[in-house]
Structure formats: C-alpha cells, structure tokens
Structure 1
Amino acid sequence: MRKRIAVIGSSGGNLYNLGGKDPTKLLGEIISQMESAGVEPAAIQYIGAQSSMDMAGESTPAAVYAWDGDSKQIITVHEGTLGSCNQYAAQLDAGIAEQIRSEEIDGLIVMSADPQKANQQAIQAAVDKQLPIAGTGGTSMAMIAARGAKIILTSGTTGTTNRTRAISFLTAFGKHWGISYRPMIGDAKKAAEMSHQPWRRIQVRGIMMSSLPGFIALALVLALSKIPGLSMLGDVFDVLIKALPVVIAAVAAKQVSDMEEVSVVAGVLAGVLSIDGGIIGGMLGGIGAGLFVNLLFRKCIEWRFPTTTVNIIAGGISGLAAGLIVYYLLAPIALQAGEWVKVLIEGAVAYSPVLAGLVAGLLIWPAIIGGVYHAAILPIVLLEMEKTGNSFLGAVDMVGLVMVSAGITLANIVAPREKSEAALATPGFLINMGFGTFVEAAYPFMFSNKIVFAGAIISSGVAGMLVGFFDVRGTAYVPSIMAPLLSNNMAGFILAMASGLIGSFLITLAANKLGKKRVKHVEEQM
C-alpha cells in the first residue's frame, strides 16, 4: 500500500511572503514531490488569506483549499471572510481527524497551522496515533511538539521556498519510512533520470539563450553612449560587461538545480567570484553552484538540519564553493579560452574580411537548420559581444538569417504561389522585421522549393560578404530599424541588410512565378 499524507495549515505570517499567498502553487509543489516519492495526497485543508496572518482580522478576505480525490486536483471549497473560512475549515478538520483515526492517513504535513482552533482535531488525532509530522512555522510547531507529537521535521519558514519546503517534507518522510525518493525538478518524465545524472541538466544552449537579454542590454547601452550628450553611459557599459558573468552564472545555477531562489542566490554568489573568468568563467561557476546546491541540500536534509538552515547552506555555501574554485583555479583558463575564440574570429576576418563574411553567410543557414547555430554559433556571438557589445557573426546573423527570412516571407505576401501562403508568411515577416528573430518562418517556403532554398543561401552569402567588406559588427534579436544603430558601421550594416532582404525577395518572387507557370501548364495539359 502506498503511504498517504494529509496537508493542513494556512498562508501564515512569514509564510505568506514566501509562497503562502499563492496556495495553488505552494500546494501543487507538495503534490508534485509526493508523486515523485510514490506517496498519495490523502487530504488538504489550507486557509489562504489575502494578507499576512500577522495583520489579518476576521473580515480579511480568504479562501479554503482542499483536495479532490476524484479529479486529483486542488480545489477552492469556500470563499469569504477569514472568520467564515475558519468555521468552514473546522468541518474539514473533523473529517481529517476521522481519517487519521481510521488509519487512512499515514503522515501529516503542517504549515503555519492553528493547533488550538482550525486544526485542533486533526493534530490531536495525529498525536494520539503518533503519526509522523513534518512542518514549518516556529510557533505552531512548538505548540504541536509540546502536545507529544511525533515530529520528524520542524523548521521556521525564513529563507525557504515552495520547492525547498516540499522537498524537505518528502525527504523526511522518505527517510522515516525507508522510501527511495528523488526530488522532482522540471519535467516529470526526465526528473528521475536527471536526479541520478545531474550533468544531464547542463545545457549550454539553454543557458546562452536565457542570458541573451543581458547582452542585448549591453548593445543598447553601447549605442546610446555614442549619442552626443550621453557619453557618460560608457561607464555603465563597463559595469555591464563585468555583470555578464553574474547573469550567466545565475541562469546556469537555476537551470542545473532549479531550486528557485536558493539556486539563483548560489549562482549570483558564484558569478561575482567568477567575473575574472569572463562569461565562460561565469558559466562554469554557475554550473558548479547548481550541482553543489543539489548535493548540499540533499545532505543537509538527511542530516536533519532545519529547513531554513538547509537553504542558507545550500544557497550560500554552494555559491561560495563554486565561485572560489573558479576564482582561484579556473578563471585564467576560462578567460584564455574565450580569448582564443575571439582571436580565431578576428584572425579570420583580418586575413580576408570578405571571404570570412562570405563563408559565414553561406554556412549560417545550414548551421541553424542542422541545429548547430544555438549550440555553437550563438555562444561565439556572445563571446564577441562580451568585449565590444556587438559581433561579426551577430551581424551575419541579422543580414543572413533575419533579413533573408524577411525577404522570403515578404515575397510570399506580395506574390504567393497560393493565396493561403500570404497568411502564413505575414506573421513571420512582421516578427523578423519588428523583433529580429523567428527566421524559421521561412522554412515552409524553403523546404518546398529548391530555388527558394538556394536563393536563401546565396543571398545570405552575399550579405555576409558585405558585412566583411564594410567590417561591420552588430547583433540580431533587435528590431531591424534599431539594428544599424547598435553597429559600428551604420551605413555598411544597412547596405548588407538590404542586400539580404532584396536578394531573397527577388529570388523567391521569381521562384513563385515559375511555380505558378508550371501549375498552369499542368492544368492546361489535363
């Protein structure tokens, strides 16, 4: 038989500011961790007020949440004033107490409960049956312990999050019952595999993509600093460059451990200590912090540390440990690795800028179609931007991918082979021009017509060649009108962008007309 746990309590005082004000999310995290542990939710009685219980009164708006065993969902069973919710909760309390006495409940999770009123009967039944209890809320847990309850985990709420509390509860129950439990983090199907192999959560592509807004902010500040009267923003640019490893580290730690705020704190600490290693150093520090968070969190729970202390150790010590490793050992190596990549790009451009641009333009479409772009090219773009705020390959991205995709979609708006294709092409054109992304909008037209496909690569190659000829450095992922402002050569970038758009537009236009003629010829022969 699977163990069954009931959850009782309220949004509390301090808990209200640490997840309690969003009952569905708080309780949902507990249910998710129960599923991962192979435990069933038996009942829920949770009072969620619209303000901290420290300041709430009888007239404060509130709601009562319960568990619907049939639909397997958390439901709202009563809404009204806090006073009426307390009265309604007393009915659920009696029902849970009866389930405990009937041995239909094997354990109790308590969060900011009221052992004297709203939760009196359930807690007394748990004491009588010596049910294992895990909970948070210093005052309420002290009162419950004083009654002789069987406490397997107790802690305050300070420094905790929905996820870390839920994992703490289920870890305590797992250890008490001898159940094998691995925390559920992210997708349920992958959670079990990845918990045994944490390295599988390391996704360089995902880290880079999530950190991209920081680099675009850097490029914006660089452009603004060139405007007369705004030269003081040059100092802001210097500060942002130093902050980029911190951004990368925070994102990396969050993705590797996904322990909410705890992992973010660890990542920021590691990132601050990894600044000298550049963005590669920041990534290494963040990855290390994420791995340490998981390890230390699990160990501290096993050692029965209070949840607040667990979070402090997991967030603080993990960040420091990973950061110090980068600071003293890996920073010079990471910085040099980044320099080698930039030297390689600069060397190729210096040897023959036109040839470098042509080759980059010709290869960038096969790279993105083959899945290489985000894994290899985007990190290089960000490494270039780390020093100068714009990039040679970033400029090729804009002229060879974004503008070419815009040209293909524009041609299918102006003169589509079929009327339905105009509706398909319009959103893609607008997004490419307005936001500098969504090059995949051209795929349906490229894959259905070899001439359009070849035209995309040729147009990209010509545009990339002009990027090299004018020695342009720029970026994509920004509105096309703004892109030239963020480059080092506005006129050259505009010409290169125009060549990519016009070239792909004309070739696609011609391909569509040929396609129409072939269709008409076939129809005449039939």
Structure 2
Amino acid sequence: MNRQIAIIGSSGGNLYNLGGKEPRKLLDEILVQMESAGLSCGALQFIAAGVSMDAAKETTPAALYSWSSSQGAPVIIAEGTLQQVNQAAERLDREIAEQIELGEIDGVIVMSADPEGSNRHAVEACAKYKLPVTGTGGTSMAMIQAKGVHVIAASGTTGTTNRTRAVTFVTSLSKHWRIPYRPVIGTAQASSSSGSGSSASPWRRINIRGMMMASLPGFIGMALVLAVSKIPGLSALSEVFDLMIKALPVILAAIAAKQVSELDEVSIVAGIVAGILSVEGGIIGGILGGIGAGIIVHYLFRKCVEWRFPATTVNIVAGGISGLIAGLIVYFLIAPIALSAGEGIRTLIETLVSWSPVMAGLIAGLLIWPAIIGGVYHAAILPIVLLEMETTSNSFLGAVDMVGLVMVSAGITLANMIAPRDKGEAAVAAPGFAMNMGFGTFVEAAYPFMFSNKLVFAGAIASAGLGGMLVGLFGVRGTAYVPSFVGPITSNNTFGFLISMLASLLCSFLITFFVNKMYVYRSAKSTIGM
C-alpha cells in the first residue's frame, strides 16, 4: 500500500512570491513528484492568502485547500477573510492530527506552517508519533524542530521554486524510506492523477529547432530596433541594436538550458550565466553553453538533493555552478570554434548569392514551399536565417521567406476571398489572409487551396520563384514574422523588398483567381449540360 502523506502549511511570506500566490500550481507540482515515488496524499491543509503573510491582516481574503479523496485532487473548502479561514483551518488541523494518531499518515510535508496556531495539533501529533517531516520556511521549521518533531530535511524558502521544493521534499522522504524515486522534470498538469511530466534524460530533450523558434522574438525585436534607428532623430537606437546583438547568445542559452533541464528558474539562471560567458561564441556558442548548462544543472541538482543540501543551497549551487562550468568551457575552449562556424555559414551563403544573386533567389524561392511542406524549413532554413540575422538583423533567406511564403500565401487566400470556388472557402481564407498580412506568419493558411488543386500548388511555387528572383535582383536582405508593412522597413532595400513582395502576392493572386474562375465556369457548364 502506498505511503500516505499529509501536506500542511500556507502561502507564506517569502513563499508567496516564489509560488505561494498560485496554490494550485504549487500543490500540483508536489503531487506529481509524490506520484513518481509511489506516495499518495492522505491529507491536505493549505491556507492561501491574497497577499504575503508578512503583510496579511485578519481581513485579508483567503481560501483553505483540503484533499478530496473522491476527486483525487485539492479542493477549496472555505473562503473568506483570513480570520475565518484560520478558524476553519484549525478544525481541519485537528482532523489531520487524528489521522496521524490512527496511523493513517506516514509522513508530512510542511510549507510555511504555523506550529503555534493553525498547525499546532498536527505538529504535536508528528512529534508524538515520530513521523518523518520535511519542509521549507526557516522560522516555522525551526519552531517545529524545537517541538521535538523528527525533521529529516529542512530549509528556508529563498531561491527555491515550486519544482525544486517538490523534488527536495519527495527525495527526502524516498531516501528516508529507501524507496525508488526519479524526479519528474516536466510540466505538472492540473491533477497529479494524470501522471504528467517527463523524467526523460536531458540529452533526449536537446532540440536545436525548438531553441531557435523560441528565441525568434529576440531576433525580430533586434530587427525592429534597427529599422526604427533609421528614422531621422532616432539614430541613437543604433547603440541599442549593437547591445541587442551581444545579448542574442544569452537569450539562446537561457532558452536552451530551460528546455534541456526543465527546472524553471534554476535552469534559466544557469543558462543566463552560461550565455554571458558564451557571448564571444555568437549564437552557436550561446546554444552550446545553454545546452551544457541545462545538462549539468539537471544532474547537479539531483546530486545536491541526494546529498541533503538545503533547498535554497540546492538552487544556488545547481543554478550558479552549472552556468559557470558550461560558460567557462565555452569561453575558453568552444567560443572561437563556434564563432568561426557561424562566420563560415554566413560566408557560404553570401558567396553562393554573390555568384548569381538572381539565380540564387530563384532557386531559393522555388524550393521554399517544398522545404516547409517537407519539414526542412524549421530544421535547416530557419537556423541559417537566424545566423544571418546575428550580425545585420536581416537575411537573404529571411527575405525569400517573406516574399516566397507569406506573400504567396496572402495572394492565394486573397483570391479565395474575392473569387472562391464556393462561398464556404471565402470564410476559410479570410483569417489566413489577415494573419499573413498582419503578422507575417501562418503560411499554412494556403495549404487547403494548394493541396486541392495542382495548378494553385504550381502557381505558389512559381510565384515564390519570381519573388526570390527579384530578391536576388535587388540584393534584398529582410525578415519574415513581422507585419507585411513592417517588412520593407526592416530590410536593407525598402523599395526592392516592396516590389518583390507585391510581385509574389500579385502573381499568386492572379493564378489562383483565374484557376478558381475556370473551376466555377466548368462546374456551371457541367450543371447546364446535365
């Protein structure tokens, strides 16, 4: 039979700012980790106040969470002022103490408890029956220990997160009972009964494409700053642009570390530390530093917990030391190689384009739809776009993306709004057109029309080829993922980019328009013939 755990405490003072103000997320994380160790929740008494307990008054709004065995989840059993909730909590405290006396509780997790008030009876029962207790909250845990409670692990709250606290609690209990436990390093869902989360090796979570996509807003922000800096009177923003370029490796490192380790704030801190030390390696150095930080923080965190470091120290050591180790490795060993690799890729692209810009644009345009349909775009083209943008904020392939994908999709959807094959297609096309023009994304809106008619599909590829050819002709460097009217402003050739965009849009529009008209004409003719 699974060991039954009681969870008692409150949203706390310092804890309130470190997860306590979102009690469901805090409790769900603990429940997920408990389930991974084969532990069950036997009782719950958690007072969630509307503000930090350091500033709370008797009239502060609050809620009392208890455990519902039928629902297998935390439920609110009392709401009102903090004074009213405390009164309800004292009754629940007596019930939990009775469960302990009856042998229905095997261990206790404590967070910012009140051993002299709303948790007095449960704490006294723990001391009497020598139940293993683990928890956070410096003052409350000191008071609990003074009452003779068998505390197997105690820590302050500073520097902890919902996940690191939960892992620390469950690790302490599992080591005490010598039961197997593998931390669930994934996102806790609304209920622990779902068994959500992932304890997969951090090596399996390395996904360069995902890291690049998550970091894209930073690159777009940089491009926008460069565009605005060209406006008369705003040239001072060019210094901001230079600063943002230096920050790109830090952004990528933080994203990489978080995705690899999935330890929330701890991994983000490790990634930032590694990223700062990886700046000289460019975005490749940032990615490598972040991946290294994520891997190291994953294992170092677990080791620190196994060594029974206090939760605060676990976070400091895992986050800080992991970032330093990974960052220093990149700084002294990998940065020059990573920087050279990035420069080499950019030089290769520029060399290929310089040989025949028009031909390079044409080929890129013709291949970009097959690339995105075949899944190659995000895996190969997008990383190259970001590498190009690292130094100039715009890109040759980024410009081809805008004219060959976004504008072509806009043209196809616009034609289906004006001259659809049937009335229902206009309603389907309109949102896609708005997304293409307003946000520079969601090119997939054209898929239904391309896949249902080979001529429209061929027209899309031809239009993309035309746009790419013009990008090469005008020597355009630009980006997608921005509103269509912003695209030309962020490019190195506003007029050339605008012409290229309009050409692609108009070409795909006209082809789709006449294909649809032909389809409607043939359908009408067939109906008359019948």
* TM bucket normalised to smaller: over 0.9
Residue deviations 1:429-452 (CA, integer Å, cap 9, x gap): 001000000001011111111111
* 1:307 equivalenced with 2:311 (yes/no): yes
Which of residues 424, 436, 451 in structure 2 aligns to 1:432?
Answer: 436
Find the counterpart in structure 2 of residue 203 from structure 1: 207
Which of residues 265, 273, 286 in structure 2 aligns to 1:261?
Answer: 265
Which of residues 240, 243, 261 in structure 1 aligns to 2:244?
Answer: 240
Find the counterpart in structure 1 of residue 117 from structure 2: 117
Q: Contact conserved, 2:174 with 2:180, CA < 8 A, in 1?
A: yes
Find the counterpart in structure 2 of residue 134 from structure 1: 134
Residue deviations 1:238-277 (CA, integer Å, cap 9, x gap): 1111000001111111111121111111111000000000
Q: Contact conserved, 2:183 with 2:199, CA < 8 A, in 1?
A: yes
Which of residues 357, 360, 365 in structure 1 aligns to 2:364?
Answer: 360
1:51 partner amino acid: V
Find the counterpart in structure 1 of residue 147 from structure 2: 147
Matches within 5 A, 1:338-417: 338-417=342-421
1:128 partner amino acid: K
Q: CA deviation at 1:222?
A: 0.9
2 CA distance for matches of 1:187 and 1:480?
36
Find the counterpart in structure 2 of residue 185 from structure 1: 185
Which of residues 492, 515, 519 in structure 1 aligns to 2:523?
Answer: 519
Q: CA deviation at 1:193?
A: 9.8
Find the counterpart in structure 2 of residue 328 from structure 1: 332
1:408 partner amino acid: I
Find the counterpart in structure 2 of residue 51 from structure 1: 51
Residue deviations 1:460-495 (CA, integer Å, cap 9, x gap): 011000000000000001110111000000110011
1 CA distance for matches of 2:55 and 2:102?
37
Choose 319-328 or 258-267, whichever is displaced more.
258-267
Find the counterpart in structure 2 of residue 16 from structure 1: 16
Q: Contact conserved, 1:115 with 1:143, CA < 8 A, in 2?
A: yes
Identity of aligned residues (%): 66
Partner SS, residue 516 of structure 2: helix
Q: Contact conserved, 1:86 with 1:118, CA < 8 A, in 2?
A: yes
Residue deviations 1:373-395 (CA, integer Å, cap 9, x gap): 11111110000000001000000
2 CA distance for matches of 1:338 and 1:193?
35
Choose 339-348 or 191-200, whichever is displaced more.
191-200
Find the counterpart in structure 1 of residue 231 from structure 2: 227
Find the counterpart in structure 1 of residue 467 from structure 2: 463
Residue deviations 1:23-80 (CA, integer Å, cap 9, x gap): 1111111112122222211121011112221222222221111122212222211111
Q: CA deviation at 1:525?
A: 4.6
Q: CA deviation at 1:116?
A: 1.3
Q: Contact conserved, 2:186 with 2:197, CA < 8 A, in 1?
A: no
1 CA distance for matches of 2:511 and 2:39?
61
Partner SS, residue 199 of structure 2: helix
Q: Contact conserved, 1:183 with 1:191, CA < 8 A, in 2?
A: no
Choose 354-363 or 178-187, whichever is displaced more.
178-187
Partner SS, residue 117 of structure 1: coil
* 1:476 equivalenced with 2:460 (yes/no): no
Closer/same/farther in 2, CA of residues 233 and 267 from structure 1, 3 Å limit: same
1:82 partner amino acid: L
Matches within 5 A, 1:67-106: 67-106=67-106
Find the counterpart in structure 1 of residue 494 from structure 2: 490
Q: CA deviation at 1:185?
A: 2.4
2 CA distance for matches of 1:326 and 1:442?
43
* 1:295 equivalenced with 2:290 (yes/no): no
Residue deviations 1:174-201 (CA, integer Å, cap 9, x gap): 2122222222222679999963421111
Find the counterpart in structure 1 of residue 2 from structure 2: 2
Partner SS, residue 195 of structure 1: coil
Q: Contact conserved, 1:185 with 1:191, CA < 8 A, in 2?
A: no
Closer/same/farther in 2, CA of residues 357 and 334 from structure 1, 3 Å limit: same
Residue deviations 1:300-325 (CA, integer Å, cap 9, x gap): 00000000000000110011011001
With normalisation by structure 2, the TM-score equals 0.97
1:44 partner amino acid: L
1 CA distance for matches of 2:73 and 2:164?
21
Closer/same/farther in 2, CA of residues 464 and 191 from structure 1, 3 Å limit: farther
Closer/same/farther in 2, CA of residues 207 and 37 from structure 1, 3 Å limit: same
2 CA distance for matches of 1:463 and 1:96?
71
Choose 435-444 or 181-190, whichever is displaced more.
181-190
2 CA distance for matches of 1:259 and 1:139?
26
Choose 420-429 or 22-31, whichever is displaced more.
22-31
1:502 partner amino acid: L
1:89 partner amino acid: A
Q: CA deviation at 1:19?
A: 1.1
Q: Contact conserved, 1:223 with 1:485, CA < 8 A, in 2?
A: yes
2 CA distance for matches of 1:505 and 1:359?
21
With normalisation by structure 1, the TM-score equals 0.97
* 1:270 equivalenced with 2:255 (yes/no): no
1 CA distance for matches of 2:313 and 2:10?
22
Q: CA deviation at 1:126?
A: 1.7
Q: CA deviation at 1:522?
A: 3.8
Where do 5+ consecutive residues of structure 2 fail to align?
none
Partner SS, residue 99 of structure 1: helix
1 CA distance for matches of 2:55 and 2:232?
52
1:481 partner amino acid: F
Q: Contact conserved, 1:184 with 1:191, CA < 8 A, in 2?
A: no
1 CA distance for matches of 2:308 and 2:447?
55
2 CA distance for matches of 1:254 and 1:60?
36
Partner SS, residue 103 of structure 2: coil
1 CA distance for matches of 2:459 and 2:298?
49
Q: Contact conserved, 1:246 with 1:271, CA < 8 A, in 2?
A: yes
1:102 partner amino acid: L
1 CA distance for matches of 2:227 and 2:306?
52
1:405 partner amino acid: S
Choose 183-192 or 69-78, whichever is displaced more.
183-192
Q: Contact conserved, 1:475 with 1:483, CA < 8 A, in 2?
A: yes
Where do 5+ consecutive residues of structure 1 fail to align?
none
Partner SS, residue 86 of structure 1: helix
Q: Contact conserved, 2:134 with 2:169, CA < 8 A, in 1?
A: yes
Partner SS, residue 474 of structure 1: coil
Q: Contact conserved, 1:434 with 1:479, CA < 8 A, in 2?
A: yes
Q: CA deviation at 1:521?
A: 3.9
Q: Contact conserved, 1:194 with 1:200, CA < 8 A, in 2?
A: no
1 CA distance for matches of 2:94 and 2:294?
43
Q: CA deviation at 1:517?
A: 2.9
Closer/same/farther in 2, CA of residues 90 and 364 from structure 1, 3 Å limit: same
Choose 412-421 or 37-46, whichever is displaced more.
37-46
2:314 partner amino acid: V
Choose 44-53 or 389-398, whichever is displaced more.
44-53
Closer/same/farther in 2, CA of residues 219 and 191 from structure 1, 3 Å limit: farther
